[in-house]
Amino acid sequence: MKRVEAYIRIHKLEDVKLALEDAGIRGMTVEQVKGYGRQQGQTDKYRGSTYALNLIPKLRVDVVVEDEELERVLEIILETSHTGEIGDGKIFVSDVIDAIRIRTKERGSAALR
């Protein structure tokens, strides 16, 4: 299993979410975060404003998927969150060693299905 951690523009969430749902990907966590990339937030604007300490509001979207789903999920996020402008965001991928559905105690792949 892989964890896809995508930092995206706030207004892109709906597109990303709908596309992932359409692809049968069930489950995600979304959190509002503030951050900066290599421009240190200086040329990345959010609603026309420059932010204190150059921290720009973004969303972190977390999705844990099967290995076989990874490339499809990455494609979807890349496609739907892209504008071509500075500050489009970044995606990090990491290994997940287990998943457990608390209600049923199912583990691994079964906990994702």
- Write down the least CB distance from residue 11 to ligand ATP, Å: 14
Q: Which does 7 bind (CB under 5 to 8 A by kind): ligand ATP, Mg ion, none?
A: ligand ATP
Instruction: Kindly identify the residues of this chain, within the stretch 71-90, that bind Mg ion according to CB under 5 A.
Output: 87
Query: Given candidates 13, 23, 37, 45, which one binds Mg ion under the rule CB under 5 A?
Result: 37
Alpha carbon 48 to its chain's center: 23
Count of residues near Mg ion by CB under 5 A: 3
Least CB distance from residue 92 to Mg ion, whole Å? 15
Among 39, 40, 50, 94, binds Mg ion (CB under 5 A): 39
Site for Mg ion contains 108 (CB under 5 A): no
Binding site for ligand ATP (CB under 6 A): 7, 33, 35-39, 44, 56, 58, 86-90
* Distance separating alpha carbons of residues 25 and 93, to the nearest angstrom: 16
Strand arrangement, sheet containing 2-8: 29-35, 56-65, 2-8, 89-95
Per the CB < 8 A criterion, the answer to whether 1 and 109 are in contact is: yes
Residues 6 or more apart in contact with residue 30 via CB below 8 angstroms: 13, 59, 60, 61, 62
